[in-house]
Structure 1
Amino acid sequence: MTLLSRALRVIPVALLRLLVATLVREANYDHDYRYQVASQYDFIIVGGGTAGSVMAERLAEVEGWRVLLLEAGGEQPPESYVPAFNTFLFQSDADWNFYTTPQTHSLRFFKNNAIPYPRGRTIGGSSSINSMIYVRGNRRDFDNWEALGNPGWNYDSVLKYFKKSEDYRGVYTTKTAKYHGKGGPLTVENKRWSTPVAKAFVKAGQQLGYPVVDPNGPEQIGFSMIDVTLRNGRRWSAADAYLRPASQARPNLHVVLNAHVTHILFDEKNAVGVRFEKEGKERSVLANREVVLSAGAVGSPHLLLLSGVGPAAHLYQHNIPVVEDVPGVGQNLQDHPVVGGLVWTVPRGSSFNTTLLANPKNVYNFIHNAEGPLTSPVGTEGNAWVPSAEGDPNWPELQLAMVSGTPAQDFGLLSVQVLGYKKEEYYDHFQDILGQEGFILAPLLTRALSRGDITLASSNPHHQPLINPNFLSHPDDVSALVRGIKLALKVGEAPALRVEHSAKYHSKPLRGCEHETAYTDAYWECFIRHLASSSYHTAGTCKMGPASDPLAVVDHRLRLRGVSGLRVVDASVMPLVVSGNTNAATIMIAEKAADLLKEDWGIPITSL
């Protein structure tokens, strides 16, 4: 990162942080037990992110249990509470600042054929830095989890946990009411402010014959505006929903921030505690009952590998003593590859413009009325799912995201760094539309067939793991995304966008694909291999599955295979990533996991 680009990242964030701290006063939570850590607890939870926040609250409900939660990051940054500042949280001190490895089959438009890979390093984890989109997935995702050998994970069984977690404050109909929960910790709202083109996107879907749907209702096929995890127009992370109330009300829960867990401690094949670093000092703490690993789909496999649980040959390479040979640890990495380069320009006032965020009227409206553009995350405003071309038509292979804004609008000042573009490629392709308002229609592959992995760069816990999504290594993924591009172009041509908002597709041929005839399947394949990137929906790296599955890491009760006293609870256990954003499903997994753990320790479960 150059000195100028670093300044362009740091200075705006510092100013935003000062503004928010001055004008938007959030509750001050002093729940860091750094000076009171006991030598042992009943349960130790590693990671205070989405799943860890849920687990901490639910386990601490049992008064006789002492629970310790260790989070590598610090407090949620003040600017995270302003939904429109979400893009400033990537590559900040609240982010692990991971990068992928250089990719062979994709990312040709990106520097070193690699991209930044944001993961939350703060209380609340990625729920504190994400775009706050609440999408559960398709009911067939969960029915398939059970069909893969995981009893109790079908849709009818997990729906109650989605509802248990949710305090839905949006609009629903008599048809969709029974799919939503009221009074749960996680507040979910309809988007409070939308651009004109976002509303036109939904209208375009209707013009093409698709229904307007509740994205978390009985079926997924159709167009919709997004629901968001906000409360009164401000971000409502998993830490806000679960952890902070629990840490104030439950003296049996201790939370320690800036505590980097470096190893899980084993006695033979029994997990007995963890070793962590804080303020330059290393210490160990023991778990009388279980260690719960909720470090995320990157962090959980990384910590298991560092601790001697994983593919034996890989551990031997790094001189790590093998506790248990579990071949699936770090394997089965899944994500949602998304094509973010399909750009339309529109007249000023139709889409998002950064000047909206500095308008004093909008700032006042946010602070005093919880209204206006500052209440809305910058990025995706609407989603669509259409019938699959192959297989069950109601289990969509594609999600189409409507993004209000383009990489060209900021002249590359921040977008090049945040997204990881090659500067020369960026300016060549977008130079004609720099600074213009516009939108993106981004096809996202919901069930990619490509599989990547998380492996060790070294045995040093401070070295980042090697994150290889292996994007587009399976040719069928490219074919599906070609279908997605054709859908996006069709939506962009609908009268609601083309006529009513004068939307114009940025049709400049992509450099590097000139050898293909424009807009043929071969051209779009080339376009995809250059511009398809990540949705940051990492999953699957500690796969849940039966003993007959050679890559299964945990069983259907999320207990680690081959050892005792250790469970994994986060998005890494998904055998197949859900057909949508992953945060809602991760919360559901943790809600269900808490009940599974309580059952295994003889605690009666209140029926839902």
Structure 2
Amino acid sequence: MGQSLANTVLALALGFIANLLVGKSPFPTVIVDDEVTVDFIVVGSGSAGSPVAARLSEVEEWQVLVLEAGGQPSPESAVPGISSFAALEGSAMNYNYRTTPQKYAQFSYTNNTTPYPSGKVIGGSSVINYMMYNRGNKFDFDRWAALGNPGWDYQTVLKYFKKLEDYGGQLTAENRPYHGTGGPLRVENKRWGSAVMTAFLAAGLELGHPTLDINAGSQMGFNTPDVTVKNGKRHTAADAFLRPNLQRPNLRLQSGSHVTKILFDDNLKATGVEYRQDNKTKRAYARKEVVVCAGAIDSPKLLLLSGIGPQQHLQGLGIKTLVDLPGVGENLQDHPTVFGISWSVPKGEASSVKRVLGPSSKLLYKHLRKGPLSAPLGVEGNAWMRLEEGGDPTVPDMQFLIISQALGFNFDLLLSSAISLKNKEYRGYLKALRGIEGFNIGPMLTVPKSRGSVTLRSSDPFDPPLIDPNFLSHPDDVELFLKGIKFALAIGNTTAMRDGIGAMFVAEPLPGCQTHPWGSDDYWRCFTRHMASTTYHPAGTCKMAPLTDPLGVVTSTLKVRGVNGLRVIDASIMPYITSANTNAPAIMIGERGADFIKEDHGIQINI
């Protein structure tokens, strides 16, 4: 049975279990008339699109239509402990993209490519992600502003982070000024952790690093992640912003509507969109603006299909160029992670699918919304460090994610199959890891120097785009990973890990790197190029920049250059990727972008 089919069968089984645990709670959707005219069309209902639509609909006289290509979330996506399976290849909630073959990395992956999931569902990627709520560093946003993007400095965006939050985590005198309560999105401390989590925090203290709330004053240290979970269930952007407001007569959500083209008049004002629904081509028109919130892959794809992008690329595909905008699809940034740095632990110390799905776990979750099913599977904690010498010591260059799953976790049921390791070449390597309980520490570059691109494969809007992260094309990224791996090894070698939970490093030589002495710098450089891959955080492909930047795509108020009535509002506008998981910043961008629209149309903003 092929991996995609196996994943589909697994998802169906977990969906049945989840339906018994939480039931179904579909979003109310509509079918609008063909040629409908509204004030605003929002393309995409994901992390940014949902807040944009909800906030625009606060103006009663504005008619807002949300067009979402996907359908209803499945039941398993709501249960944190099994929801990661919703992102596996073959899922109906996933565009099922893959990277192009990588020249400098992913040597251990099938065809040097790996799955690149993107949410095709009401709620977008906030339905299939790991629910981690990490904002990033103060420096990230101050740098955006310093590049010539006013209104994006940390003190300004902090107001929007607080506005969107209903923070249910532990509040102290130190972190209270940084959190909001009563906002749409529920953010909680993770409800459950294995022994690995406790040992990880103790390891941080042993190495001299504090345990802290990284969404407060400092990002430098160890933490257990805040998560977008409400009452033990995943709380998506659509749950937070759309569901409570779809009773408004001026807000409508239409699913199964794949937007294929933005329409313009002779003055290059965006007048609407063309989309496919039920195998029919339809149109919808916007009196005021079209707002593209399709994410860092599909937003540039839609601009390119509509004739906005590098002229040479568009001409080569037979697409008429409306605006020659070289930056569309460029500047792709992602956080690469090195997988496979694993330790074994005695049974019972880490995660196990058998334990997560066992009868006691299911009863605990069903009746109390607690236990292993109430938290993202295996996610135990994060750490942020600065390992490069020099620079601001308060700004991290490396994030470490610890998950209580070794690479061969539960006989390849999730981790190694999800990242698409080569089967034949790695059969022996994985055999040594298969079935063990353990944990993996993944070093992740917070601000990689490598840059990639998103381009069109063809002029067919249903062809997947060419996604080239260009991982490790900049040699400095490899050298920083070398330092990151050594720090990960130091974590695993602490007394807290070795004596506390019996951690033993799995020192199996990696195929393709056996010519280097095991554990040497050259071995780990080789290991990095073989095992580094995506952390599923694409950003930057419709870069926000002043007009002096030739690769800028949108202005500081997120208007697309060279046209009128069109904005892009999502993670694609980041000039530099934030130094943490990108879901929380994407939601903030939606909140901030909605206020820019309101201000431009004469609505007073109070925040």
Give TM-score, length-normalised by structure 2.
Answer: 0.98
5 Å-filtered alignment, 1:54-73, equals 54-73=51-70
Between the aligned residues of both structures, percent identity stands at: 48
- How far apart are 1:103 and its partner, in Å? 0.2
Aligned to 1:78: 75
Give deviations 1:237-289, integer Å, cap 9, x for gaps: 001000111112x1101110000000000113111100001001111111100
Q: Look up the equivalent residue of 2:262 and give its one-letter code.
A: I
- Alpha-carbon distance between aligned partners in 2 of 1:181 and 1:426, rounded to the nearest angstrom: 47
Match for residue 590 of structure 1?
590
| Aligned equivalents of 2:153, 2:349: Cα separation in 1 | 42
Question: Contact 2:35–2:283 (CA<8 Å) still a contact in 1?
Answer: no
Matches within 5 A, 1:88-167: 88-90=85-87, 91=89, 92-167=91-166
Aligned equivalents of 2:292 and 2:474: distance in 1? Answer: 31
Partner deviation per Cα, 1:370-410 (whole Å, 9 max, x = no partner):
10000011143200011342311211100011111122122
Q: Which residue of 2 aligns with 1:212?
A: 211
- Supply the distance in 2 between the matched residues of 1:258 and 1:489 (Cα, whole angstroms): 47
Aligned twin of 2:354: 355
Write the letter of the residue equivalent to 2:275: F
CA offsets 1:15-40 (integer angstroms, 9 cap, x no match): 221222233124343x2111456621
Mapped partners of 1:416, 1:227: distance in 2:
26
Question: Which of the residues 10, 13, 16 maps onto 1:12?
Answer: 10
AA at the equivalent of 2:307: G
In 2, Cα distance between the equivalents of 1:287 and 1:499? 63
Is residue 21–residue 362 contact of structure 2 (8 Å, CA) maintained in 1? no
Alignment deviations for residues 404-432 of structure 1 (CA, whole Å, 9 cap, x no partner):
11221222245443211101233222212
Aligned residue for 1:50, secondary structure, equals: coil
Gaps of 5+ in 2: none
The aligned counterpart of 2:302 is: 303
Q: Does 1:581 align with 2:581?
A: yes
- Pick from 25, 29, 34 the counterpart of residue 32 of structure 1: 29
In 2, Cα distance between equivalents of 1:38 and 1:322: 25
For 1:53-452, list aligned pairs within 5 A.
Answer: 53-90=50-87, 91=89, 92-248=91-247, 250-268=248-266, 269-390=268-389, 391-452=391-452
Where 1:500 maps in the other structure, the secondary structure is helix
Equivalent in the alignment of 1:572 = 572
Which residue identity lines up with residue 466 of structure 1 in the other structure? L
Partner of 1:558: 558
For 1:441, the aligned partner's letter is I
SS at match of 2:243: helix
Paired residues of 1:47 and 1:72 also in contact (CA < 8 A): yes
1:223-250 per-position Cα deviation (integer Å, ceiling 9, x unaligned)? 00011000011100001000111112x1
The residue type equivalent to 1:489 in the other structure is L
Alignment of 1:529-540 (within 5 A): 529-540=529-540
Q: Is the 8 A contact 1:8 1:414 kept in 2?
A: no
Q: Which letter does structure 1 place at the counterpart of 2:454?
A: I
Change in Cα spacing, 1:116 to 1:58, as seen in structure 2 (3 Å) is same
Q: Distance in 1 between matches of 2:277 and 2:26?
A: 22
Q: Does residue 23 of structure 1 match 2:37?
A: no
Q: Give the partner amino acid of 2:39.
A: D
The corresponding residue for 2:40 is 43
**8 A Cα contact 1:416 1:426, kept in partner:** no
Structure 1 unaligned runs (5+)? Answer: none
Matched, 1:458 2:446: no
Structure 1 counterpart SS, 2:329: coil
Say whether the 8 Å CA contact 2:32–2:254 is kept in structure 1: no
Residue identity in the other structure for 1:551:
L
Name which of structure 1's ranges 407-416 and 123-132 shifts more when overlaid on structure 2: 407-416
Separation (CA, whole Å) in 1 of partners of 2:155 and 2:387: 23
Alignment-mate amino acid for residue 44 of structure 1 = I
Deviation at 1:328, TM superposition (A): 0.2
State the alpha-carbon separation in 1 of the partners of residues 360 and 413 from structure 2: 26
Whether the 8 Å CA contact 1:351–1:437 is kept in 2: the answer is yes
In the alignment, the residues of structure 2 paired with residue 28 and residue 272 of structure 1 have an alpha-carbon distance, to the nearest angstrom, of 31
Deviation at 1:548, TM superposition (A): 0.4
AA aligned to 1:39 is: V
Q: Which runs of structure 2 are paired with 1:536-547 in the superposition (5 Å)?
A: 536-547=536-547
What CA distance in whole angstroms lies between the structure 1 residues aligned with 2:295 and 2:474?
25
Distance 1:54 1:426 in 2: 44
Distance across 2 between alignment mates of 1:487 and 1:525: 14
Q: Distance in 1 between matches of 2:523 and 2:289?
A: 53
Q: Matched residues in 2 for 1:166 and 1:236: separation?
A: 12
CA drift of 1:358 comes to 2.2
User: Secondary structure of the residue that 2:412 maps to in structure 1?
Assistant: coil
Q: Deviations over 1:280-304 (max 9, x none)?
A: 1111111100000000000000000
| Residues 260 and 461 in structure 2, CA contact (< 8 A), matched pair in contact too | yes
The CA deviation string for residues 477-504 of structure 1, in whole angstroms up to 9 with x for no partner, is: 0011101001000010010101111101
| 1:120-171 deviation line (CA, Å, top 9, x unaligned) | 0000000001000000000000010011111111100100000000000001
Preserved contact between residue 416 and residue 423 of structure 1 (Cα < 8 Å): no
Structure 1 Cα separation of the partners of residues 538 and 302 of structure 2: 16
